[in-house]
Structure 1
Amino acid sequence: MLTIKRVPTVLSNYQENASGCGRNCLGSCCLPVSKLPLYAFRSKEMHVTDPAGGDLPVDFFLNTLVLGQWEERMNRGLFRYDVTACETKVIPGVHGFVAQLNEGRHLKKRPTEFRVDQVIQPFDPNKFNFTKVGQEEVLFRFEAGEEDKSCFFESAPVDADVLPNVVAINVSPIEYGHVLLIPRVLECLPQRIDPESFLLALHMAVEAGSPYFRLGYNSLGAFATINHLHFQAYYLAIPFPVEKALTQKIKIDKDASKSNVKISRLLNYPVRDNNIPFNVLISDSGKRIFLFPQCYAEKQALGEVDQELLETQVNPAVWEISGHMVLKRRKDYNEASEDYAWRLLSEVSLSEERFQEVKSYVLGATGMMEFENNPVELTTNTENNLLAACTTPTQFPGGCLVLQ
């Protein structure tokens, strides 16, 4: 059983503006000649229900590597604040929104350094990026292996011919075990999701093998704060409200798709290369993927967001949209209500007309066609016993596409 220890806040080394390198970073000056722990996952025939396999315990990746090494970095004082001291509660009501008071993140988080009205922007090496991170913040490399089972190596040289994927701590954490998955860090990719990196994130969800370890992605314009390709992930043993919401299956023409993937839309939940900001939640060990197109920043720029909501300074990114509200002020935390969460997420949601446009973009890009007469077929997430045991299906006042 893992234990959480309280530690004093110590500023991480790489947060200071040091001149030159000389400090064992993730840049091309240091990483190619480094040795780092390596987790090599099975890349052949990924089975969502069968993490790790082989000689490693089924909980090795999550408990020993991710959470165990995260705690070790916490004990070394590498975080900006002690997130385990942050107060958390379930907001009373039928939906089970989760509220957290995180004043440290508000006071010490790095400001956004790019335009918020463009989803696609070029990588800027002069702005903060993950090549400037010190290797003490890296937990391990995460690479596709060549074996039919997952393997772990405590120290492995970085192959000069490979662009390494790394898992590092988030020094401004939202929750216990908050880490970053940084695909091909030396390639210096902008925050623009691609098939290869998305598949990598799915592999990480599978290896974790827990419905309570989720991965998230924020596009530019949807409250990503660093324009260097990355996913976030953390562990929270509470079902997210979005995971409990009713969905309507979208009937796809079988001739247009031979995939076994089911696509649904959320019903009555307060959210729904076309410059559409979006967030992604990878849930249920990779079995469910939520795509949230959103428009909060656009409404904010147009002065269309209620002033009371603006005063909370909450930016609804993937975690907030999923139902985990990270609040920055004691007043807002004490007064947190289901009505507040509802109003905030309603501002995120696209109009029905715009949501239908986005759905058409997605289906068109995948070569799928929706039946014109799409009967209502309501579904809930009952496949996973851990979530289903404490889940009551709910309806919310948005649009979202759900792949499962």
Structure 2
Amino acid sequence: MEKLVYTNDDFSENSDSWKSDKFELSKFDEVLRNGWDKAMEDGHFRYKLDIEETKIIGDKSYIAQLNIKRAQERRKPDVINSVNQPFNPASFNFTKIKESEILFDLVKKDNSSGDMTNGENGTEDSTKKVRNLVIINVSPLEYGHVLLVPNIDACNPQILTESSIRLSIEMMLLSKHRGFRLGFNSLCALASVNHQHMHAYYLDREIFVESSPVDHLCGCLYELTAMPTHGFALQLHNTGIDLLSRILFEFADYCQKNEIAHNFYMTRGPVFNEPSDSCKRTIRVYFWPRKKFIGLKDEAAFNIALVELAGHLPVKVRELFENLDEEKIESTIREAALDLPEYNNIKDNFMKICQSQSS
């Protein structure tokens, strides 16, 4: 199995803005994209990626893409009834994938000592090697769609740990592509496999949340109110990997303990409240506590998971795609919004978490 070894020296917080004609790829981008292209060429996906049509809708420039094959050909999702559903080894999980679906093992090398670290339990040794695998999503929604499966052999359920969040941030930092995105769906928030994993992909278009206005709440915590479903916003700028990982984990842990479904989405964008073409760019993270969904809504144009909450809409039915407008989009997304009293209670608790972790 190929290993992609990296250090902190490989990280890049900045990226080119969408106003720039420059286009730069990192070693990580090249390895991922070349491996993904070869896997597609060799027929290891359920279908050839075929986005039949893309259109930009409304003032927020929602990106709607007609991707019929994903709805028709994807693996049937697990039956999920709880945010805290235990891992079931008898169900499909990522230890059962084919070797041909694995792109590489993501391995961190300590800058000072030269030791290989695994992102979970410290230095690797000969008795316990932790594999953080990047695998193809065999039912892709966009170019380069992969899954990051931290510590695959631990068979963790689909929950966020501090180490998995940190690994996700580091994976974002390994890419220099302005359109590289990464995120997480909890159980009952459209996760279809109960085995810890994150989605990552390239969307070579600007989306609204990259430069959307946010309101400051306290410390490094902001609120996103410009989208139909309110959520929380943090950024790597002036926060750092350690604190950002801790706060996101505490948010996720709060949601797990209180059976609250949640999604998060990472994207590059200008530093909060900078103009969209600012050269001061960073990684933005959005975190949405949301209503639990049990099963899929076949009558809807799209399901509401991490990419849809951010304004990227893979649509599964041509007729619904053709009739889509901003009002229908926002009405659908709003269905995931918590009632205001519940959301405000979470906001109060998240502010306390942020203040506690920042002190």
- Normalising by structure 1, what TM-score? 0.69
CA gap of 1:47–1:169, structure 2 versus 1, over 3 A, is: closer
SS in 2 for 1:353: helix
| Aligned positions of 1:216-365 closer than 5 A | 216-252=183-219, 262-272=220-230, 273-284=257-268, 287-295=283-291, 297=293, 311-312=299-300, 314-365=302-353
- Give the CA deviation at 1:47: 6.3
Shift of 1:135: 1.3
User: What is the distance in 1 between the residues matched to 2:57 and 2:80?
Assistant: 37
2:30 to 64, 80, 101: 64
Instruction: Report 1:93-172 matches (<5 A).
Output: 93-116=58-81, 118-147=82-111, 160-172=127-139
Equivalent residues of 1:41, 1:151 under 8 A apart: no
Distance 1:131 1:115 in 2: 19
For structure 1, the residue ranges without an aligned partner over 5 or more in a row are: 1-35, 51-57, 253-261, 302-308, 371-404
Distance change (3 Å), C-alpha of 1:355 and 1:77: same
Partner amino acid for 2:109?
G
2:244 is matched with which residue?
none
Partner Cα separation in structure 2 for residue 93 and residue 173 of structure 1: 25
Q: Number of residue pairs matched? A: 305
Report SS of the residue matched to 2:91: coil
Verify the 8 A CA contact 1:142 1:167 in the aligned structure 2: yes
* Cα deviation code 1:289-324 (max 9, x no counterpart): 1001111627x89xxxxxxx8512632000111111
C-alpha displacement of 1:270: 0.5
Q: Distance in 1 between matches of 2:10 and 2:211?
A: 29
- Structure 1 partner of 2:42: 76
Taking the aligned partners of 1:190 and 1:159, their CA distance within structure 2 comes to: 26
Local SS of the residue matching 1:348:
coil
Q: Can you list the C-alpha shifts for 1:59-93, whole angstroms capped at 9, x where unaligned?
A: 2334421111100100001111111x212323332
Name the amino acid aligned to 2:224: L
One-letter amino acid matched to 2:176: G
My pick for the range that moved more, 102-111 or 130-139, is 102-111
Match 2:145 to one of 178, 183, 198: 178
Query: 1: distance between equivalents of 2:26 and 2:259?
Result: 40
Amino acid at match of 2:341: E
- Root-mean-square deviation (CA, aligned residues, Å) is 2.9
Summarize deviations over 1:365-399 as a string: whole Å, max 9, x none: 445399xxxxxxxxxxxxxxxxxxxxxxxxxxxxx
- Does the CA contact (< 8 Å) of 2:260 and 2:292 recur in 1? no
> What's the TM-score once normalised by structure 2's chain length?
0.78
Larger gyration radius, structure 1 or structure 2: 1
- Equivalence for 1:14: none
C-alpha distance after superposition, 1:88-143 (max 9, x if no partner)? 32333211101111111111212222323x11111100000000011111111102
SS of the aligned residue for 1:199 comes to helix
Once the two structures are aligned, what percentage of the paired residues are identical? 28
CA deviation string 1:28-75 (max 9, x = no partner):
xxxxxxxx111122158966349xxxxxxx723344211111001000
Alpha-carbon distance in 2 for matches of 1:214, 1:149? 31
Q: Quote how far apart the aligned CAs of 1:150 are.
A: 11
Aligned equivalents of 1:100, 1:250: Cα separation in 2: 34
Paired residues of 2:11 and 2:174 also in contact (CA < 8 A) = no
1:92 maps to amino acid: I
Q: Relative to structure 1, is the Cα distance of residues 41 and 360 closer, same or farther in structure 2, using a 3 angstrom cutoff? A: farther
Q: Partner letter of residue 209 of structure 1? A: K
Distance of 2:306 and 2:169 partners within structure 1: 16
Q: 1:342 to 1:42 in 2, by over 3 A?
A: same
Q: 1:149 to 1:71 in 2, by over 3 A?
A: farther
CA distance in 2, matches of 1:148, 1:59: 26
CA distance in 2, matches of 1:287, 1:336: 30
The corresponding residue for 1:192 is: 159
Q: Which amino acid aligns with 2:4?
A: Y
